[in-house]
Chain A
Amino acid sequence: MTLVSQGNTLRVEGLTELNASNAASFRDQVRAALQGGHTQVDLDLNQTRFVDSSGLGALIAIHKTLCGRQGIVRLINPTSQVLQILELTRMHRIFEIAKS
């Protein structure tokens, strides 16, 4: 996983899985990489083929962190299996789901 700062956006790439064993560490790494000026996190889910409920919890946690600074989290290019889980759990009502 790589974290790239682009202006007010923190871009997260190369995430292959977001599951119970790596969700907490993922959440902490993203939070640690957030700098003062970041008001947007773009999570590139292009390579993410598995997300479980703990992974969804981590996404919500980051969303709350960004809300606290009047920012947003965007989920970019989710794979079809991840998109299905996002829709099933109605996460698409919370996150902006975008094409890059």
Chain B
Amino acid sequence: MSTVTTTPGRSLNLAVPCDLAAVREAARQLRSFLEQQGLNGTDLDAWELITAEAGNNAVEHTPPEALNIPVELGMRVTPSDAELVVVDHTPGFELPDDPQLPDDPLSESGRGLFLMRALSDSVRYLRGREENVLVIKKRRTSQATPSSDPQQSVEMAVLETTIHTMTEELAASYESLSAIFRFTAELNRGSINAEFTERWLHELRQIVAADWFVLRLADPFGALLAVTHCSRNDAGLPPLILKGTTQTAASIESRAAISRQDMWFDAANPFASDDPLALFGSPASGLAHPLYVNTELVGVLSVGRFTRQHPFTAGQVNIIHTFADFLGIQIRNARIQEEHLRTRLVTRELEIAATIQRSLLPVRLPEPDGFRLAGFCESASKVGGDYFDAVLVPDHGLLLVIADVMGKGVPAAMFAAIFRSHVHARPDLAVNPGEFLTWLNRALYPDLDRVEMFVTAQVVFLDQKRRELRIASAGHCPLLVRHADGTIKEGDADGPPLGIDGDLVFTDHTEPVHEGMCFLMYTDGLIEARNPAGELLGLERLKSWFGSPHLKGAPVAAIEAGLVKLAREFQGSAPAADDLTFVLVADDPASAGGAHVGPGNLHVAY
């Protein structure tokens, strides 16, 4: 039971037992007293809490031997202010000039002094030998005369505060709802774009009375945050690489993305000097909110004010969250749609390229008298660039051409088609492969140069009368010749690819054709096939296999099947990264009897 001393209309002094419940009751009594003095609802709420905090401190820190001494609470009211005096019997404490909230936002204590200071105009603490005196002063926000009906006055004050809060919240809710409806209707007419996002963010800035915003979007790997929208056009904020932990990440935006939580900045948590947001200057208050859709990081939205005095309220934070999350979902949806569209386009392009490439290949390979051929062509995802051809030059021999256009998709397939038409345009040059390549290069150079593409090619003329090969190469994989005894000879590497220099002159070299000889032309897809460990099949492995004794006397179709098996077994479960194309020509006296087109000697797999 408190002991009460009252000066009517001016002051109230309570001697309160050293007990938390008694302090709480005393705070209610003081509130009633202040009500009678005409203080308004906001002041009453503040004083009730200040008194409770001050009284609780006094009780909680009183040593056991002083527990029987009451805590004294005195309230004095003047027309302009009110003053609380608390006399405690604790050992006392050092009152900081500017009490702050605890450094750890999850601390379960340490907010009492901050509240007393934040809700009042001045706090002083006078330490004595046996007792200490806390003096808290606060100006009255309205100097109303005491109401004739205190109850009515209290109800009016509470009502006023409630109506004010509700009006503010309703207005904000209405504005945000209306914005969401309006923008959703707009989205139904088309996908989200930069202009939409810009307007959306300006709308948000207005509703929550923010001074600035920065939106960063994450790359598809969630590793980089690049600015897409900023209320300051001249900001030039650099992209952020996401690394480190919540504690070590360099910027507030990175920390928000990594921790998946809002990161706040204000007087207690200012920007580091190298934080990109420091551009907006000091003081500043606001938050960086990460945009996550399920587990995927879409971006980070930072919204701030050029002041520390009026941080965002809970209602405004809710609006920022709603706007940001809505935007995150729309951006994510747009990305998914874009991805689907791109996949469909790529698939269609690959289909077109595959059709072109198929149309370029001979249906069957012609075989000159005394020779057998076997060819193989399989497309990987990089469809469209490989080409090979075999053209019979009557009574003379066979022209073999293999080429790889560097590039993929329709453009590479189109160049392969152009290349083929050139090859067929000058059969008169077939017997001189070097000259043929020189002409091809000169003819194709302007187009290749314009689109910055190039072609590796190999031209071989098999002279059946002289029984020799004439070989010219433009940056292509070396021809491999297998002699009957299993020794392997590598063809000379000649000039650079076609399309590098229009004035190049290519030369050819000659290889005699011995009995039982077999040669292999191929594109780099064969030697650059990779196994699941990422190793290349390589030229040495190919040469070793091609020279192995078990191929001695084997029919060319069996060698072809063996080579396909070698490549596939080497690749194992690894996906083929490149087209696989090769052609084998074997000396086979048993097949003498005139030139013909070998049935089933070309295998094309798609």
A residues contacting B by CB (< 8 A) are 17, 19-21, 50, 52-54, 56-58, 60-61, 63-64, 80-81, 83-90, 92-94, 97
Indicate whether A21 sits within 8 Å of B115 (C-beta atoms), given known contacts A60-B106, A84-B45, A85-B49.
Answer: no
- Contact check, A93 vs B56: say whether CB atoms are below 8 A apart: no
Other than the known A19-B20, A50-B52, what 18 A-B pairs have Cβ atoms closer than 8 Å?
A: A20-B24, A21-B24, A52-B52, A52-B112, A53-B111, A54-B109, A57-B111, A64-B106, A81-B45, A83-B165, A85-B49, A85-B115, A89-B111, A89-B115, A92-B313, A93-B317, A97-B314, A97-B318
- Contact check, B313 vs A20: say whether CB atoms are below 8 A apart: no
B contact residues, range:
35 or more
> Which one of B49, B59, B165 has the greatest number of beta carbons of chain A within 10 Å?
B49
Of the residues B48, B52, B107, B287, contact of A20 by C-beta under 8 Å:
B52
- Contact check, A94 vs B115: say whether CB atoms are below 8 A apart: no
Q: How far is the CA of A53 from the CA of B287 in the complex (A)?
A: 24
B23 within 8 A of A: yes
- Contact check, A50 vs B264: say whether CB atoms are below 8 A apart: no
B window 61-102: CB within 8 A of A: 101
Cβ-closest chain A residue relative to B168: A80
B118 within 8 A of A: yes
- Contact check, B20 vs A57: say whether CB atoms are below 8 A apart: no
Indicate whether A83 sits within 8 Å of B109 (C-beta atoms), given known contacts A20-B20, A53-B53, A53-B115.
Answer: no
Cβ-closest chain A residue relative to B21: A21
B114 within 8 A of A: yes
B151 within 8 A of A: no
- Contact check, B314 vs A87: say whether CB atoms are below 8 A apart: yes
Contact flags B98-131 to A (C-beta < 8 A → 1, else 0): 0001000111111110110011000000000000
Contacts of A53 in B (CB 8 A): 53, 56, 109-112, 115
- A contact face: mostly helix, strand, loop, or mixed: helix
Contact flags B517-528 to A (C-beta < 8 A → 1, else 0): 000000000000
Closest Cβ of chain B to A30, distance in Å, is 14
Contacts of B165 in A (CB 8 A): 80, 83
Cβ-closest chain B residue relative to A92: B314
Of the residues A21, A83, A84, A85, contact of B20 by C-beta under 8 Å:
A21
Closest Cβ of chain B to A18, distance in Å, is 11
A-B pairs with beta carbons under 8 Å apart, 10 shown: A20-B59, A50-B48, A53-B110, A54-B56, A80-B161, A80-B164, A87-B311, A88-B119, A90-B101, A92-B313
Contacts of B111 in A (CB 8 A): 53, 56-57, 89
Contact flags B26-38 to A (C-beta < 8 A → 1, else 0): 0000000000000
Of the residues A50, A54, A94, contact of B105 by C-beta under 8 Å:
A94
Q: How far is the CA of A20 from the CA of B262 in the complex (A)?
A: 30
Q: How far is the CA of A61 from the CA of B59 in the complex (A)?
A: 22
- Contact check, B108 vs A61: say whether CB atoms are below 8 A apart: yes
Contacts of A17 in B (CB 8 A): 24
Contacts of B262 in A (CB 8 A): 93
B6 within 8 A of A: no
Closest Cβ of chain A to B116, distance in Å, is 9
Q: How far is the CA of A98 from the CA of B592 in the complex (A)?
A: 91
Closest Cβ of chain B to A50, distance in Å, is 7
Contacts of B52 in A (CB 8 A): 19-20, 50, 52
Indicate whether A52 sits within 8 Å of B317 (C-beta atoms), given known contacts A19-B24, A20-B20.
Answer: no
B162 within 8 A of A: yes
Contacts of B109 in A (CB 8 A): 53-54, 57
Q: How far is the CA of A86 from the CA of B56 in the complex (A)?
A: 19
Q: How far is the CA of A65 from the CA of B49 in the complex (A)?
A: 27
Closest Cβ of chain A to B161, distance in Å, is 5
Contacts of A61 in B (CB 8 A): 108
Contacts of A86 in B (CB 8 A): 314
- Contact check, A60 vs B108: say whether CB atoms are below 8 A apart: yes
Q: How far is the CA of A87 from the CA of B312 in the complex (A)?
A: 8
Cβ-closest chain A residue relative to B110: A53
Closest Cβ of chain B to A54, distance in Å, is 7
- Contact check, B264 vs A81: say whether CB atoms are below 8 A apart: no
Closest Cβ of chain A to B41, distance in Å, is 8
Cβ-closest chain A residue relative to B108: A57
Closest Cβ of chain A to B495, distance in Å, is 66
- Contact check, B101 vs A89: say whether CB atoms are below 8 A apart: yes
Cβ-closest chain A residue relative to B20: A21
Q: How far is the CA of A94 from the CA of B56 in the complex (A)?
A: 25
Cβ-closest chain B residue relative to A50: B48
Contacts of A85 in B (CB 8 A): 49, 115
Cβ-closest chain A residue relative to B48: A50
- Contact check, A90 vs B56: say whether CB atoms are below 8 A apart: no
Contacts of A20 in B (CB 8 A): 20, 23-24, 52, 56, 59-60
Cβ-closest chain A residue relative to B313: A87
Closest Cβ of chain B to A19, distance in Å, is 5
Cβ-closest chain A residue relative to B50: A52
